[in-house]
Structure 1
Amino acid sequence: MKNIPFLVFIGLFLLLGCQSEPRKITKEIPIITTPVKIIAPKKAMANAATILSKKEVPILCYHNIKNIDANAGEMTRMYTVTPTNFAQQMKALSDEGYHTILPNQLYEYLVHDAPLPANPVMITFDDTRGEQYSIGAPEMKKYGFKGVFFVMTVSINRPNYLTKEQIKSLSDSGNTVAAHTWDHHMVTKYAGEDWDTQLVKPKKKLEDIIGKPVTYFAYPFGLWNKKAIPEIKKSGYQMAFILATKRDSIDPLYTIRRIIVAGQWSTPSVMKAIKSSFK
Structure 2
Amino acid sequence: MWLSLLGPGAAGRAVGQVIRRAIPDKLVVLTFDDAAVSHATYVAPLLKKYGFGGTFFVCEFREPPFADKTKYMTWAQIQGLQRQGFEVASHTLTHQHVNKLSRPQLGAELDSIEARCRAWGIPRPTTFAYPGYDTAPMATALLPERGYLFARAGGGRAYDPATDHPMLLPSFSIAGTDTAKVLSAIRQAHGGHVVILTVHGVPDVAHDWVTTPPELFEQYLGYLRTHRYRVIALRDLARYVNVPEALRTLPPHYENLK
Q: TM-score range by the shorter chain?
A: 0.5 to 0.7
1:178 Cα deviation from its structure 2 partner: 0.2
- Tell me the distance in 1 between the aligned counterparts of 2:28 and 2:105: 33
Please name the residue that 1:151 is paired with.
58
| 8 Å CA contact 1:243, 1:257 repeated in 2 | yes
Residue identity in the other structure for 2:93:
W
Does 1:273 find its partner at 2:180?
A: no
CA shift in 2, pair 1:251/1:145, >3 Å:
closer
1:116 Cα deviation from its structure 2 partner: 5.9
1:213 Cα deviation from its structure 2 partner: 2.6
- Tell me the distance in 2 between the aligned counterparts of 1:135 and 1:163: 14
CA deviation map 1:3-40 (0-9, x unaligned)? xxxxxxxxxxxxxxxxxxxxxxxxxxxxxxxxxxxxxx
| 8 Å CA contact 1:243, 1:258 repeated in 2 | yes
TM-score, normalising length: structure 1: 0.54
- Tell me the distance in 1 between the aligned counterparts of 2:14 and 2:67: 39
Does 1:202 find its partner at 2:113?
A: yes
Please name the residue that 2:128 is paired with.
217
| 8 Å CA contact 1:126, 1:180 repeated in 2 | yes
- Tell me the distance in 1 between the aligned counterparts of 2:25 and 2:137: 33
CA shift in 2, pair 1:192/1:257, >3 Å:
closer
Structure 1 SS opposite 2:137: coil
Please name the residue that 1:226 is paired with.
137
The total of aligned residue pairs comes to: 175
CA shift in 2, pair 1:124/1:201, >3 Å:
same
| 8 Å CA contact 1:157, 1:164 repeated in 2 | no
1:227 Cα deviation from its structure 2 partner: 2.0
Structure 1 SS opposite 2:50: coil
Structure 1 segments unaligned to the other structure (5+ residues): 1-48, 55-109
The answer to which of 121-130 and 225-234 deviates more is: 225-234
CA shift in 2, pair 1:157/1:171, >3 Å:
farther
- Tell me the distance in 1 between the aligned counterparts of 2:13 and 2:57: 23
1:271 Cα deviation from its structure 2 partner: 1.3
The answer to which of 140-149 and 241-250 deviates more is: 241-250
Please name the residue that 1:235 is paired with.
146
The answer to which of 110-119 and 144-153 deviates more is: 110-119
- Tell me the distance in 2 between the aligned counterparts of 1:149 and 1:51: 34
Alignment of 1:1-279 (within 5 A): 111=18, 113-114=20-21, 119-153=26-60, 158-159=68-69, 160-191=71-102, 193-244=104-155, 252-266=165-179, 268-276=180-188, 279=193
4+ aligned runs moved over 6 Å, structure 1: 49-52, 245-251
Cα RMSD (Å) of the superposition?
A: 3.2
1:208 Cα deviation from its structure 2 partner: 2.9
Residue identity in the other structure for 1:254:
M
CA deviation map 1:46-105 (0-9, x unaligned)? xxx779969xxxxxxxxxxxxxxxxxxxxxxxxxxxxxxxxxxxxxxxxxxxxxxxxxxx
| 8 Å CA contact 1:156, 1:164 repeated in 2 | no
1:209 Cα deviation from its structure 2 partner: 1.8
